[in-house]
Amino acid sequence: MADQHVVILDETNFENEVLNSKLPVMVDFWAEWCGPCQMVLPIVDELGNEFEGVAKIAKLNVDENRALAMKYRVMSIPTVLFFKNGEEVKREVGAKSKPDYISLIDSLI
């Protein structure tokens, strides 16, 4: 179940929620059929709660948003992109641990 503190991204809100965000943004590119993605999703939900108001945590389903996945050259999933001031500043490919994501977010705040 998606958490209300995690932004669900698509082509209609990506620019506003990510590129125009005043806060740093973590975007999880994922898909339903991806096993490692399923392991990351609960971590993403937890981060959404923990970083509320400090950083924006978001997820984007690549099957439903192929154009965005192609634009950001997401070749394998999960891929997590980190944005600051509308620019991609970091990229992590593959499932990582919660402490890994926390330290990456902390580095952007």
Catalytically annotated residue among 7, 26, 27, 37: 37
pLDDT per residue over 53-109, tens digit each? 999 999 999 999 999 999 999 999 999 999 999 999 999 999 999 999 999 999 999
- Is 34 annotated as catalytic? yes
- Is 15 annotated as catalytic? no
DSSP 83: E
Residue 76, domain member (yes or no): yes
Catalytically annotated residue among 34, 40, 55, 104: 34
Residue 1, domain member (yes or no): no
> Is residue 55 within 8 Å of 22, Cβ to Cβ?
no
pLDDT of residue 4: 72
CATH number, domain with residue 28: 3.40.30.10
Would you state the structure tokens that stand for residue 52, as one six-digit string? 């509320």
CA quadruple 45, 46, 49, 55: dihedral, nearest 10: -80
pLDDT per residue over 15-48, tens digit each? 999 999 999 999 999 999 999 999 999 999 999 9
Domain housing 103: 6-108
The total of structural domains in the chain comes to: 1
Residue 39, domain member (yes or no): yes
In the predicted structure, residue 9 carries a pLDDT above the cut 70 = yes
Which residues are CB-contacts of 63 (< 8 A; sequence separation ≥ 6)?
31, 32, 33
